[in-house]
Amino acid sequence: MTSRDQVRQLLYRPLSAERKEIRVLVVDGGQQSTRPISLAGQRSSNGHAQDLLAFRLEYIRLTDHVVPFYDAVSYSWGGNKDDRTQIILDGLPFWIPTKAEQALRAVSVEHGHPRVWLDAVCIDQEEPREKSLQVAMMGEVYSKARRVLIWLGEDRGDTDTAIRSIRKLLEGIEQKLPAQYQTPDSGSAKDLILNPNAHRMTSKQISWTSIYSLFSRKWFTRAWIIQEVALAKQPVVYIGKHTLDWTELSSVAVWLYERRQRLPRSPSKGCLTGLENVALIGMFKLRKSQKLGTLLRLVYSFETHDPRDMVYAVLGLRSRTAQKPGSTSRIVPIYEEPVVETYAKATKAAIIELESLGLLKHAHSLRPVPQSKAENGEFPSWALRMDLRGGYHINPISYRNFRFNAHDGMPLKIWPNDSSRVLKVEGILIDRITDISPVMSWKLYGERFSDTITAAAVLHSTYSWTCDQLPAWPNNVLSRKFAITVAAGQDSTGRNLLESTEHAQRLHEGFLHTATAPEPEPASDVSDTESLKSSKSATSISSRSTTHSLHSMRSLDSSENLLLETENPDATYAMDAMMKGGHHRTVCITERGYVCLCTDNVKEGDALAVLFGGSVPFVLRPNNHFYYFVGDAFVEDLMDGYHIRTLRSQGRLGSQTVWFKIR
């Protein structure tokens, strides 16, 4: 046994899980002291001598009717985990992560908080079982703290300027929420507006660089901060010796994020991530009880050192019912188990809680899994991969609030099995994929018109490919089917085009109109759109090569391009919808002639299926007695449940229903 282990055993007595016992750090010398006792000298990172911090451990129970006060510290571990600094704990020398020591020094010495909870010291980090039990009650630790002390780090020289700029911006931001909805964090993107006189602020009044630098700090990327701040009674922000109210920080962050595309001096990706994450935390403060599926999708923009914490860090925001013993969707932190087990359990628990397979739409959309890992690795193809950083590379089908009904309301049925890595569900095998177009790709949500031009050329090339696969289809019928399919049945605002004949027609007309834009036609008394309807074949127009279309469109100068877009609102409407729906996707044809919008990893021979509990069709890859999950799909003829209803009316639904074992 090492001397460190001996010190740990002397300091850390076992905690009572039943009583929800935790340790609290109290500044040595008594509760009234706001400064640690000076013991031995050590030097800070800048070379200046400084006293060792000295604390004693106190044990308190969160189950007590009156919980003794303490403040919980929220900070970023960061840096090298082996970089440690010594403190004095119950009279014994004890080494802790340097970032933890810096946070303790800041909140206890500089800002005068004598009783604090900080995970790196108050949890025995070398004892996995204790760590798992303490993490399971982390939500209560932060919700029952008197205050949550947010330590963003040392002053880098621009903090004072950043805070003054934030407060200057706040002078121009007005809250427009009804009184009953107002909370310290009630500001949302749509509720914050700029005072009419705020545009007169000059660069001398607002230091955008210092504001961007502040929101680029590492703390804003930590997954744990979601519940640490969302559950806090009173969050307070510290940067060096400066103090900032969380409401000030969050209100400005939400306002800036809403206007991120119009901000001066283009904030960095790190800053935009920080702004977005603060906006998400504001949403969680308004509604603290969330479904696990929602939490797992939103945690993707955050980071953790331990990949398991991408799940564990949000458990405190679930409803108490979902986390009660005996709940079929309960998640218990277990740091000894493999990451794959944690993610598989979490995904399955979220599916069970939602009673829906809707979460599967995000399994491929959030991050493309390399084929070798998805098929040959140990990770289930259907489980969310929260260890792979990044946001949506592809929009899931039905990315807005409305739901399709491919399963015709058939309830989810999951086979109870011992393996958490196999998802066995009921459904109907529809067809097999035989032909696949090249992947459609362009810069999503491109700000430049040239991105729209590129997308138009790609779409027309893909439409030409579709026409070649289905030569017997009437041009007008196929062009409409293609436009609806690539848009995934919805416009850019999320309107369900399958329920709106008017808007579906507008999409179709707009797509046909874009088909005339690449090559100027000879002068004619008949409009391009009308000529398409009457005499011109949509196939002949759209079969121009992508290269030629791009060359023709780019020959126009930028002012003409903008004029073209302005004069054709239907074309713009169609392009916006099809660019959102079709990006990084393929158009596929099945044996029976279904036209499908699929993900970019689909292969010939993949199965098209409707799974009970799934509002959209899914593509599965047969492999011996199992299937691999490929992705979601849009098939216009299946989206309203007509296929299921037909089987039911014919009395064949039972005989056609099969169990799919997906791994």
Which DSSP symbol is given to 313?
Answer: T
> Percent of the chain scored above 70 by pLDDT?
78
Average pLDDT over residues 43-66: 81
Q: Which residues are within 8 A (CB) of 348 and not within 5 positions of it... i.e. 6 or more apart?
A: 383, 414, 420, 423
Sorting pLDDT into bands at 50, 70 and 90, what band is 301? confident
Sorting pLDDT into bands at 50, 70 and 90, what band is 236? very high
Specify whether 453 is located in the same domain as 412.
Answer: no
Specify whether 283 is located in the same domain as 333.
Answer: no
Measure the CA–CA gap between 20 and 8, rounded to whole angstroms.
Answer: 20
Average pLDDT over residues 336-340: 94
Specify whether 2 is located in the same domain as 139.
Answer: yes
Of the three residues 123, 145, 167, the one that is the final residue of a domain is 145
Query: Mind listing the pLDDT tens digit for each residue in 597-656?
Result: 999 999 999 999 999 999 999 999 999 999 999 999 999 999 999 999 999 999 999 999
Sorting pLDDT into bands at 50, 70 and 90, what band is 398? confident
Task: Give the per-residue pLDDT at 538.
Answer: 30
Sorting pLDDT into bands at 50, 70 and 90, what band is 452? confident
User: Which has the higher per-residue pLDDT, 320 or 104?
Assistant: 104
Q: Is the pLDDT of residue 121 over 50?
A: yes
- CB-CB contact of 599 with 606 (8 Å): no
Specify whether 263 is located in the same domain as 341.
Answer: no
Q: Is the pLDDT of residue 195 over 80?
A: no
In a domain, 108, yes or no: yes
Task: Give the per-residue pLDDT at 300.
Answer: 85
Task: Give the per-residue pLDDT at 543.
Answer: 32
Of the three residues 99, 115, 145, the one that is the final residue of a domain is 145
Would you state the structure tokens that stand for residue 113, as one six-digit string?
Answer: 């908080």
The DSSP secondary structure of 150-193, one letter per residue, reads EEEE---S-HHHHHHHHHHHHTTEEE-S-GGG--TT---TTTEE
Task: Give the per-residue pLDDT at 363.
Answer: 84
Q: Is the pLDDT of residue 444 over 80?
A: no
Measure the CA–CA gap between 309 and 387, rounded to whole angstroms.
Answer: 10
Three-state secondary structure call for residue 32: coil
Three-state secondary structure call for residue 551: helix
Q: What are phi and psi of 238, to 5 degrees?
A: -120, 135
Would you state the structure tokens that stand for residue 484, as one six-digit string?
Answer: 């609806």
Measure the CA–CA gap between 105 and 35, rounded to whole angstroms.
Answer: 9
Nearest Cα neighbor of 144 from 64, 224, 76 is: 64
Average pLDDT over residues 194-204: 50
Report the length, in residues, of the chain: 663
Q: For the ranges 110-114, 194-198, 432-436, which has the lowest average pLDDT?
A: 194-198
User: Which has the higher per-residue pLDDT, 406 or 46?
Assistant: 406
Nearest Cα neighbor of 303 from 280, 347, 273 is: 273
Which amino acid, residue 152?
Answer: L
Would you state the structure tokens that stand for residue 266, as one six-digit string?
Answer: 């283009």
Measure the CA–CA gap between 62 and 44, rounded to whole angstroms.
Answer: 36
Q: Is the pLDDT of residue 5 over 90?
A: no
CA 36 to chain centre: 41
Task: Give the per-residue pLDDT at 367.
Answer: 58
Three-state secondary structure call for residue 546: helix
> Percent of the chain scored above 90 by pLDDT?
65
Q: For the ranges 175-189, 275-289, 359-373, 384-398, which has the lowest average pLDDT?
A: 175-189
Specify whether 79 is located in the same domain as 134.
Answer: yes
CA distances from 647 to 324, 584, 655 (A): 40, 33, 9
CA 165 to chain centre: 29
Give the Cα-Cα-Cα angle 288, 294, 298 (nearest 5 degrees). Answer: 95
Three-state secondary structure call for residue 596: strand
Measure the CA–CA gap between 306 and 136, rounded to whole angstroms.
Answer: 15
Specify whether 138 is located in the same domain as 175.
Answer: no
Specify whether 487 is located in the same domain as 603.
Answer: no
Task: Give the per-residue pLDDT at 284.
Answer: 85
Average pLDDT over residues 238-247: 96
In a domain, 293, yes or no: no
For residue 86, the enclosing domain spans 1-145
Measure the CA–CA gap between 380 and 370, rounded to whole angstroms.
Answer: 12
Q: Which residues are within 8 A (CB) of 585 and not within 5 positions of it... i.e. 6 or more apart?
A: 394, 439, 440, 486, 597, 598, 599, 600
631 torsion bin: left (phi>0), alpha (psi -120 to 50), beta (else): left
Measure the CA–CA gap between 98 and 45, rounded to whole angstroms.
Answer: 10
Average pLDDT over residues 233-261: 94
Measure the CA–CA gap between 654 and 306, rounded to whole angstroms.
Answer: 45
In a domain, 83, yes or no: yes
Sorting pLDDT into bands at 50, 70 and 90, what band is 377? low
Measure the CA–CA gap between 308 and 223, rounded to whole angstroms.
Answer: 11
Name beta bridge partners: 414: 425
Which amino acid, residue 283?
Answer: M
In a domain, 307, yes or no: no
Specify whether 491 is located in the same domain as 402.
Answer: no
In a domain, 217, yes or no: yes
Q: Is the pLDDT of residue 166 over 70?
A: yes
pTM of the model: 0.82
- CB-CB contact of 317 with 227 (8 Å): yes
Nearest Cα neighbor of 229 from 210, 212, 213, 245 is: 245
Tokens 């909870």 -> residue: 117
* Sheet of 21-27, strand order: 92-97, 84-89, 54-61, 21-27, 115-117, 71-74, 147-153, 235-239, 242-245
Q: Which residues are within 8 A (CB) of 651 and not within 5 positions of it... i.e. 6 or more apart?
A: none
In a domain, 503, yes or no: yes
User: Which has the higher per-residue pLDDT, 216 or 520?
Assistant: 216
Average pLDDT over residues 243-261: 93
User: Which has the higher per-residue pLDDT, 10 or 560?
Assistant: 10
For the chain, how many structural domains are there in total? 4
Would you state the structure tokens that stand for residue 28, as one six-digit string?
Answer: 């040595």
Q: Is the pLDDT of residue 117 over 70?
A: yes
Query: Mind listing the pLDDT tens digit for each residue in 575-592?
Result: 999 999 998 999 999 999
Measure the CA–CA gap between 8 and 164, rounded to whole angstroms.
Answer: 44
Sorting pLDDT into bands at 50, 70 and 90, what band is 395? confident
Q: What are phi and psi of 375, to 5 degrees?
A: -100, -30
The DSSP secondary structure of 85-135, one letter per residue, reads EEEEETTEEEEEEHHHHHHHIIIIIIS---EEE-HHHHS-TT-HHHHHHHH
Average pLDDT, the chain: 83
Query: Mind listing the pLDDT tens digit for each residue in 534-548?
Result: 333 333 223 333 334
Q: Is the pLDDT of residue 373 over 90?
A: no
Query: Mind listing the pLDDT tens digit for each residue in 19-34?
Result: 999 999 999 864 333 3
In a domain, 150, yes or no: no
Task: Please report which helix (H) or strand (E) contains residue 457, including its range.
Answer: helix 449-469
Task: Give the per-residue pLDDT at 375.
Answer: 41
Specify whether 500 is located in the same domain as 626.
Answer: no
User: Which has the higher per-residue pLDDT, 620 or 553?
Assistant: 620
Of the three residues 94, 120, 145, the one that is the final residue of a domain is 145
Sorting pLDDT into bands at 50, 70 and 90, what band is 407? very high
User: Which has the higher per-residue pLDDT, 361 or 181?
Assistant: 361
- CB-CB contact of 187 with 255 (8 Å): yes
Three-state secondary structure call for residue 367: coil
Specify whether 2 is located in the same domain as 123.
Answer: yes
Name beta bridge partners: 512: none
Three-state secondary structure call for residue 283: helix
User: Which has the higher per-residue pLDDT, 486 or 515?
Assistant: 486
Tokens 């890859």 -> residue: 621
Specify whether 63 is located in the same domain as 114.
Answer: yes
End-to-end CA distance of the chain: 43
Average pLDDT over residues 46-50: 55
- CB-CB contact of 626 with 661 (8 Å): yes
Measure the CA–CA gap between 225 and 316, rounded to whole angstroms.
Answer: 11
Task: Give the per-residue pLDDT at 385.
Answer: 87
Task: Give the per-residue pLDDT at 37.
Answer: 36
Query: Mind listing the pLDDT tens digit for each residue in 461-503?
Result: 999 999 999 999 999 999 999 999 999 999 998 899 999 999 9
Which amino acid, residue 279?
Answer: A
Specify whether 425 is located in the same domain as 530.
Answer: no
Q: For the ranges 187-191, 255-259, 306-310, 398-402, which has the lowest average pLDDT?
A: 187-191
Which DSSP symbol is given to 517?
Answer: S
In a domain, 241, yes or no: no
